[in-house]
Amino acid sequence: MHDPDLFETQSEALTAGVRVQVRARYSAEHSSPPASRWFFLYTITISNEGDTTVQLINRHWTIVDATGHTEEVHGPGVVGEQPVLEPGQSFEYTSGCPLPTPFGSMAGTFEMVRRDGTQFDAEVAIFQLIQPGSIH
């Protein structure tokens, strides 16, 4: 029998030498289903597998709940930081997302800038936010 608190969903994408890996899980301690509040934690690892230094400038999330309602979130950096990644370096952080439904999904992009000033969007592949047992 699996511990439902250890149920994780994952995604991974590689864009222009930047790998973004996600692990997401339901957080029962931050949730209140009777109040239509489900909270999910996600840990993101951003790895620079390319040969040039990059900096994460902005984030863009598309969050979809079980009713199909879509929310777009834009902002500078992640968890208050705009990490600079030399080739071979990684940056990991954990954040959270409340939903009004027991499942949904997130996907997005991180706006990256190279040392030479060129920019690109590193893909964050879609990952599921699922309360264990909510989908049979």
Domain layout of the chain by residue ranges? 4-130
- Extended strands (E) in the chain: 8-15, 18-26, 38-48, 54-65, 70-76, 84-85, 90-99, 103-114, 119-130
Check residue 80 and give left, alpha or beta (phi > 0: left; psi -120 to 50: alpha): left
Q: What is the pLDDT of residue 135?
A: 63
Mean pLDDT (the chain, rounded): 94
Q: What is the mean pLDDT of residues 62-78?
A: 97
The pLDDT of residue 50 is above 90: yes
CATH superfamily of 4-130: ApaG domain (2.60.40.1470)
User: What is the distance between the alpha carbons of residues 30 and 52, in angstroms, rounded to a whole number?
Assistant: 39
The number of angstroms, rounded, from the C-alpha of 40 to the middle of its chain's C-alpha atoms is 11
CA distance 35 to 82: 34
Q: Are 48 and 54 in contact (CB under 8 A)?
A: yes
Residue 1 has pLDDT above 90, yes or no: no
Q: pLDDT-based confidence at 134, cuts 50/70/90? A: confident
Contacts of 87 (CB under 8 A, 6+ apart): 48, 49, 50, 51, 52, 53
10-22 b/e with 16+ CB inside 10 Å = b? ebebebebbbbbb
Quickly state the pLDDT bin for 2 (edges 50, 70, 90).
Answer: very low
pTM, rounded to two decimals: 0.93
pLDDT at 37 over 80: yes
